[in-house]
Amino acid sequence: MNAQDITNKPGEHAIFMIFGLLSGREAADRVKELCAGFAAVPQSMRNRFPDSDVSCVMGFGAGAWGRLFPDRPRPKELEPFKEIKGAKHTAPSTPGDIFFHIRAKRLDVCHEMAAVFSSSLKGAVEHIDEVQGFRYFDGRAIIGFVDGTENPAAGDAFGFAAIGPEDGYFKGGSYAFVQKYIHDMEAWNALSVEEQEKAIGRRKYNDIELSDEEKPENAHNAVTNIADAEGRELKIVRANMAFANPSKNEFGTYFIGYAGTFGTTRKMLENMFVGDPVGNTDRLLDFSTAVTGTLFFVPTLDMLEEIGG
């Protein structure tokens, strides 16, 4: 089993690309051809730039999987993301057939891989979305708090991020869920540091978690802390990145979560947008608006090569 780079650190720079698959046999063949040679692209970049920490992930939406590989089984939880609508906040569902998550220490290296993939798919896909993310200071979200603190420890990450034997044909693959959040920085910055800390559930400067007595029930890290029926904590692997267009007054977070079961991610989202109990919604959503939401399946490199062939 040769997994894709689903547990790598977020990196210094990232490019996220989402495409729609065009109709026709020629378009499908072009995508399959890229699948077959996909692993060679980041490997070539590693050979050229060995210190750049290059990695890349390729995934497929539910519609594309059915069209590209109609004779193959479908991952158990791969389906179009269903909108989550609460009384105050909505997690929208947006289209996407093919997804790339490119990471490196250098933006030019990310750009080179993005250009190679886009050129390879020319005439087979249409552009839906692209975001260039960057490391903000010491790995903070653009709202000023350290991001990814709740990720599992490095030794446990793959167990949470990868599909296990329960869906054996797809073992080692992963469900990647992506959302683009836009932050109201004027309203956020109008809060005191103490109010911001209560919204997140952690200290802003040293990243220490608030005590149970200090932390409100609607703090971000309280509503996203979930467990199974036996009380075991359920986690996902996040590789979130900040992005911004200051001249447009656009400041955001590109959320990406890798998980062995999408049910874990969805439960976190339901807690955030609907609340458990209903109405106890994530305080952070009062300042952050989700504008996209798409689910992808990430095959192993071995499966990519096989389906490409």
Q: List, by residue number, the catalytic residues.
A: 147
- List the structure tokens of 10: 């977020």
Using DSSP's 3-state secondary structure scheme, residue 281 falls into coil
The Cα-based distances of 46 to 35, 54, 110 in angstroms read: 19, 6, 12
The Cα-based distances of 36 to 51, 175, 255, 303 in angstroms read: 26, 20, 28, 9
Which residues are registered as beta bridge partners of 9?
A: none
| Separation between Cα atoms, residue 164 and residue 270, nearest integer Å | 24
- The answer to whether the beta carbons of residues 10 and 239 sit under 8 Å apart is yes
User: What is the maximum alpha-carbon separation in the chain?
Assistant: 60
Report the candidate in 126, 16, 32 with the shortest Cα–Cα distance to residue 71.
Answer: 32
Report the candidate in 250, 126, 265, 112 with the shortest Cα–Cα distance to residue 180.
Answer: 250
The DSSP output letter for 123 is: T
Q: Provide the H-helix boundaries in 134-258.
A: 154-161, 185-189, 193-200, 220-223
Alpha carbon 172 to its chain's center? 17
- List the structure tokens of 224: 């996203």
Report the candidate in 282, 10, 301 with the shortest Cα–Cα distance to residue 140.
Answer: 10
- The answer to whether the beta carbons of residues 220 and 238 sit under 8 Å apart is no
